[in-house]
């Protein structure tokens, strides 16, 4: 809570140290970061809740997290590798697709988990106040756990193909992974916040999210390498931060790809922009959303 | 004494029917049309040009509400449905923002709008205590410090490591209330949570609230149960149609509040606190004797008929399972009895006429001399139906004198809210109990 020392009494009473002032409107830029920090325990407990909830409610438990990328990899290998014969930059096809899928899945999770924040939590939000941002932030962290499991699967594949003598060169650039994750989390959170804020007014948007994310995947170098795109058009694709993120991941772990550092930097810039606009919109909607839902 | 809360000219406006009208593409379409200076293709035909505030589409839930609360005050906020109580609470607890005005708070405010918000069925009781506590603004360290106290208060020690989905609903509510009650905020806002749990637990809750109040914490208690406000609060605030109508001692506030329910046989149409919107409306309520004459003051023990006059603007709609209920409550809001065509097992005609009356005959009125309030409720079906019409405090029933027992004697209201017919006798000597029937012996 903010500590303000405004004294609203014109009556000459002693100055009252109000700890909280509730006002009609909140400025677009007024995000209560300190309050969010005070609620960090809530974020931790929400992560815990979501994690336990996910595990206990599925029959296969954590196995599910392995099966989903495995099946997708098999399908992609057959459809895009064998039938469509799209290049995989000389990397073994399963490894190529799995790397894209594992990374893409984290981003897609972030978006799908956060984009319903207001509508899914309408009951909770209309009963008790806490910084609403805690919910999407906790979702992004929970998705990180799923990513960890799927990343471990990817490492197993990597080790297997490495021992088979496949032409892959994991290199020192793997230290960039935390940056890539941060970028995806920022982008996913930003998009999710934007969507969830807009769905409080426009219900039809929530329908669009599912296939929107699906379409986005086909524009994100998951099923094809950036090198397949004519270099004259690459700049256009690089506007989508997921392209340099996935390409950088492959470049670091598989040693393949044509990504350049400026592309990654530009991607980071777009991520920050999306995150900021997402959080500001979310923050603006937060205060009056219970009147509109 | 210092101030804990200052509410300064707070108003809240809701726009009716404007916000959720459109889908995204329609909104874009409208904006595009306006931008080109064309007529909005999605505008309702009656809508005035933009910028012109259309007052009938607005609803002021609160208007210029101002009051101060001293630290340590226990203040009851009472009012009918739709008086603005809930909106005031939502603003105080920051669930929604005021349209105008400001609220100043000193210290942490915790709001028990509904206990158990944020409970997750898969988590254990222990996990839920932490989750719920942190939703309500406590840190993990604070909850850990209070944990034993919370579990002790809830009385579910044995099951604290069991997932909440295996709890009975009573256990869940007790645990949830225990978390909230042990929050230790400087300002506690409570909305009718006393309706939870059994009588013993309610007593425990009241005790806890009294203890909290004695510690010098500020409590805002929002209710329309006059008896609870009378017991718990030291000050009362009456809200009516979004305005503060009265601010004073709790007893005076309750009197003021109940006064607002004075009977208006013709004016049910104008009442704004009706529940439900449907073609059927009760327009007036009247009491008549069996001779058909209106009764203004009933007598204990007389046969009385309650006439609920209705108007039905859609007589073509079938109402096969219509449920009509009346509730009679004492002046301190204690429920005395209810009567409905469901409990008597009677049904009305499937097609209701355009006007008429539902008539309930009460045989040998079992009420002592006092003033009672009558609520009514019309539902489309007993289960899964919707509220067609309803009103709290729709009218009053004054009972005076009468000869219920045929002895000329009548007990006073304070010895009981109802009269029960009976008779006394005496038998001499040691009286052996009759042998119990076989099925009952198994129980003893």
CB atoms within 10 A of CB A233: 9
**pLDDT grade for B117, boundaries at 50, 70 and 90:** low
Of B346 and A20, more confident: B346
Q: How far is B305 from chain A (nearest CA, A)?
A: 43
Q: What does pLDDT average to over chain B? A: 81
Which CB contacts under 8 angstroms, 24+ apart, belong to A115-118?
Answer: A115/A191, A115/A192, A115/A195, A115/A196, A115/A199, A115/A206, A115/A209, A116/A196, A116/A199, A116/A206, A117/A192, A117/A193, A117/A196, A117/A282, A118/A196, A118/A197, A118/A199, A118/A200, A118/A285, A118/A289, A118/A293
Q: How far is B226 from chain A (nearest CA, A)?
A: 24
CB–CB of B104 and A48 under 8 A?
no
Please tell me the predicted confidence (pLDDT) of residue B303.
92
Q: Which residues of B touch A202 (CB under 8 A)?
A: 22-24, 27
Of B216 and B404, more confident: B404
Please tell me the predicted confidence (pLDDT) of residue B14.
83
From B108, B118, B127, residue closest to A124, measured CB to CB: B118
Please tell me the predicted confidence (pLDDT) of residue B305.
94
Please tell me the predicted confidence (pLDDT) of residue A140.
94
Q: For residue B141, give the chain A residue with the closest CA.
A: A41
CB–CB of A127 and B131 under 8 A?
no
| H-type alpha helices, chain A | 33-38, 40-57, 63-76, 93-114, 117-120, 122-125, 134-163, 177-199, 205-218, 231-238, 242-253, 261-286, 289-292
**Which tens digit of pLDDT belongs to each residue from B54-86?**
444 678 889 999 999 988 888 989 887 778 888
A50-89 residues touching B, CB cutoff 8 A: 52-53, 56-57
Please tell me the predicted confidence (pLDDT) of residue A7.
44
CB atoms within 10 A of CB B393: 21
Q: Which residues of B touch A48 (CB under 8 A)?
A: 127, 131
* Interface contact A18, partner B, CB < 8 A: yes
Q: Which residues of A touch B114 (CB under 8 A)?
A: 127
Distance of CA A222 to the CA centre of its chain: 16
**pLDDT grade for B38, boundaries at 50, 70 and 90:** low
CB–CB of B111 and A49 under 8 A?
no
- What residues in chain A have per-residue pLDDT under 50? 1-13
Average pLDDT rounded to a whole number, residues B122-130: 89
The Cα B137–Cα B118 span in angstroms is 12
Q: By percentage, how much of chain B surpasses pLDDT 90?
A: 20
**pLDDT grade for B417, boundaries at 50, 70 and 90:** confident
Which pair of structure tokens corresponds to residue B403? 């000869």
From B94, B104, B120, residue closest to A8, measured CB to CB: B104
Q: Which residues of A touch B193 (CB under 8 A)?
A: none
Q: Which residues of B touch A204 (CB under 8 A)?
A: 23-25
Q: What is the pTM (predicted TM-score) of this model?
A: 0.69
Of B382 and B20, more confident: B382
Radius of gyration of chain A (CA): 22
Q: Which residues of A touch B89 (CB under 8 A)?
A: none
Burial of B180 (0-12, 13-18, 19+ CB in 10 A): buried
Which pair of structure tokens corresponds to residue A284? 């603006």
Please tell me the predicted confidence (pLDDT) of residue A9.
45
CB–CB of B137 and A19 under 8 A?
no
Burial of B73 (0-12, 13-18, 19+ CB in 10 A): buried
**pLDDT grade for B136, boundaries at 50, 70 and 90:** confident
CB–CB of B140 and A41 under 8 A?
yes
HEC string of chain B? CCEEEEEEEEEEEEECCCHHHCCHHHHHHHHHHHHCCCCCCCCCCCCCCCCCCCHHHEEEEEEEEEEEEECCCEEEEECCCCCCHHHHHHHHCCCCCCCEEEEEECCCEEEECCCCCCCCCCCEHHHHHHHHHHHCCCCHHHHHHHHHHHHHHHCCHHHCCCEHHHCCHHHHHHHHHHHHHCCCCCEEEEECHHHCCCHHHHHHHHHHHHHHHHCCCEEEEEECCHHHHHHHCCEEEEEECCEEEEEEEHHHHHHHHHHCCCCCCCHHHHCCCCECCCCEEEEEEEEEECCCCECCEEEECCCEEEEEEEEECCCCCCCCCCEEEEEEECCCCCEEEEEECCCCCCCCCCCCCCEEEEEEEECCCCCCCEEEEEEEEEECCCCCCCEEEEEEEEEEEEEEEECCCCCCCCCCHHHCCCCCCCCCCCCCCCCCCCCCCHHHHCCC
CB–CB of A202 and B122 under 8 A?
no
Q: By percentage, how much of chain B surpasses pLDDT 70?
A: 83
Average pLDDT rounded to a whole number, residues B388-403: 86
Please tell me the predicted confidence (pLDDT) of residue B310.
92
Q: Is the pLDDT of residue B149 over 70?
A: yes
CB atoms within 10 A of CB B49: 7
Average pLDDT rounded to a whole number, residues B205-220: 80
From B24, B91, B102, residue closest to A204, measured CB to CB: B24
Q: For residue B12, give the chain A residue with the closest CA.
A: A24
For the ranges A281-285, B42-46, B153-157, the lowest mean pLDDT is seen at B42-46
Contacts A–B by Cβ distance under 8 A? 133
Q: How far is A199 from chain B (nearest CA, A)?
A: 9
CB–CB of B98 and A21 under 8 A?
no
Please tell me the predicted confidence (pLDDT) of residue B338.
93
Q: Which residues of B touch A20 (CB under 8 A)?
A: 104-106, 109
CB–CB of B23 and A204 under 8 A?
yes
**pLDDT grade for B219, boundaries at 50, 70 and 90:** confident
Please tell me the predicted confidence (pLDDT) of residue A194.
92
Between the CA of residue A175 and those of A52, A74, A172, what are the distances in Å? 30, 28, 6
Please tell me the predicted confidence (pLDDT) of residue B179.
85
Of A50 and B306, more confident: B306
Residue closest to B378 by CA, chosen among B393, B358, B355, B349? B358
Q: How far is B8 from chain A (nearest CA, A)?
A: 9
**pLDDT grade for B53, boundaries at 50, 70 and 90:** very low
Of B435 and B262, more confident: B435
Of B403 and B20, more confident: B403
Suggest the residue from B2, B97, B186, B188 to mutate for an interface test with chain A (most A CBs closer than 10 A).
Answer: B97
Largest pairwise CA distance in chain A = 84
CB–CB of A128 and B111 under 8 A?
yes
The Cα B302–Cα B305 span in angstroms is 10
CB–CB of B105 and A22 under 8 A?
yes
Average pLDDT rounded to a whole number, residues B206-232: 78
Q: Is the pLDDT of residue B260 over 50?
A: yes
């Amino acid at each position: 809570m903010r500590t303000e020392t405004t004294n609203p009494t014109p009556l000459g009473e002693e100055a009252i140290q109000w700890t909280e002032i509730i006002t009609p409107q909140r400025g677009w830029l007024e995000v209560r970061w300190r309050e969010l920090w005070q609620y960090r325990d809530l974020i931790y407990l929400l992560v815990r809740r979501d994690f336990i909830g996910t595990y206990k409610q599925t029959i296969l438990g954590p196995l599910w997290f392995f099966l989903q990328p495995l099946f997708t990899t098999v399908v992609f290998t057959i459809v895009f590798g064998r039938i469509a014969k799209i290049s995989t930059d000389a990397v073994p096809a399963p490894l190529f697709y799995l790397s894209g899928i594992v990374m893409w899945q984290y981003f897609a999770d972030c978006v799908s988990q956060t984009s319903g924040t207001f509508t899914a939590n309408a009951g909770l939000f209309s009963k008790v106040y806490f910084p609403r941002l805690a919910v999407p932030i906790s979702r992004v962290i929970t998705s990180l756990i799923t990513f960890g499991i799927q990343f471990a699967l990817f490492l197993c594949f990597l080790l297997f193909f490495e021992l088979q003598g496949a032409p892959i060169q994991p290199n020192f650039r793997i230290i960039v992974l935390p940056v890539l994750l941060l970028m995806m989390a920022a982008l996913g959170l930003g998009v999710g916040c934007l969507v969830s804020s807009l769905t409080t007014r426009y219900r039809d948007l929530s329908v669009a999210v599912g296939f929107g994310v699906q379409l986005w995947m086909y524009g994100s170098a998951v099923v094809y390498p950036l090198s397949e795109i004519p270099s004259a058009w690459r700049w256009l694709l690089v506007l989508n931060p997921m392209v340099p993120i996935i390409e950088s991941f492959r470049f670091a772990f598989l040693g393949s790809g044509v990504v350049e550092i400026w592309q990654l930097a530009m991607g980071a810039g777009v991520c920050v922009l999306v995150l900021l606009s997402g959080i500001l919109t979310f923050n603006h909607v937060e205060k009056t959303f219970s009147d509109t839902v | 004494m210092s101030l804990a809360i200052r509410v300064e000219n707070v108003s809240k406006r809701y726009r009716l029917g404007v916000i959720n009208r459109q889908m995204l593409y329609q909104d874009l379409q409208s904006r595009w049309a306006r931008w080109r200076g064309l007529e909005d293709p999605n505008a309702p035909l009656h809508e005035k040009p933009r910028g012109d505030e259309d007052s009938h589409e607005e609803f002021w839930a609160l208007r210029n509400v101002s009051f101060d609360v001293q630290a340590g005050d226990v203040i009851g906020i009472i009012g009918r449905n739709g008086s603005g109580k809930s909106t005031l609470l939502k603003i105080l607890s920051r669930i929604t923002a005021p349209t105008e005005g400001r609220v100043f708070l000193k210290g942490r405010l915790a709001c028990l709008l509904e206990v158990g918000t944020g409970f997750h069925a898969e988590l254990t009781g222990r996990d839920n205590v932490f989750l719920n506590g942190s939703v309500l603004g406590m840190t993990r360290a604070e909850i850990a410090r209070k944990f034993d106290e919370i579990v002790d208060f809830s009385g579910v020690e044995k099951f604290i490591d069991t997932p909440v989905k295996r709890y009975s609903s009573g256990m869940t509510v007790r645990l949830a209330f225990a978390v909230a009650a042990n929050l230790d905020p400087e300002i506690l806002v409570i909305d009718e949570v006393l309706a939870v749990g059994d009588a013993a637990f309610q007593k425990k809750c009241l005790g806890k609230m009294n203890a909290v109040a004695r510690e010098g914490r500020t409590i805002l208690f929002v209710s329309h149960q006059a008896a609870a406000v009378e017991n718990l609060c030291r000050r009362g605030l009456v809200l009516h149609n979004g305005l503060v109508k009265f601010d004073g001692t709790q007893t005076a506030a309750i009197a003021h509040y109940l006064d607002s329910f004075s009977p208006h046989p013709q004016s049910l149409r104008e009442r704004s606190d009706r529940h439900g919107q449907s073609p059927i409306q009760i327009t007036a309520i009247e009491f008549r004797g069996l001779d058909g004459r209106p009764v203004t003051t009933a007598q204990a023990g007389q046969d009385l008929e309650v006439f609920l006059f209705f108007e039905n603007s859609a007589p073509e709609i079938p109402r096969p399972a219509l449920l009509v209920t009346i509730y009679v409550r004492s002046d301190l809001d204690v429920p005395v009895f209810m009567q409905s065509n469901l409990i008597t097992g009677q049904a009305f005609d499937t097609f209701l006429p355009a006007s008429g009356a539902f008539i309930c005959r009460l045989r040998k009125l079992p009420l002592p001399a006092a003033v009672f309030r009558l609520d009514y409720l019309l539902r489309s079906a007993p289960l899964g139906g919707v509220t067609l019409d309803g009103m709290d405090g729709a009218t009053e029933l004054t009972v005076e004198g009468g000869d219920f027992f045929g002895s000329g004697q009548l007990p006073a209201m304070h010895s009981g809210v109802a009269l029960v017919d009976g008779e006394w006798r005496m038998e001499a000597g040691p009286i052996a109990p009759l042998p119990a029937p076989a099925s009952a012996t198994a129980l003893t």
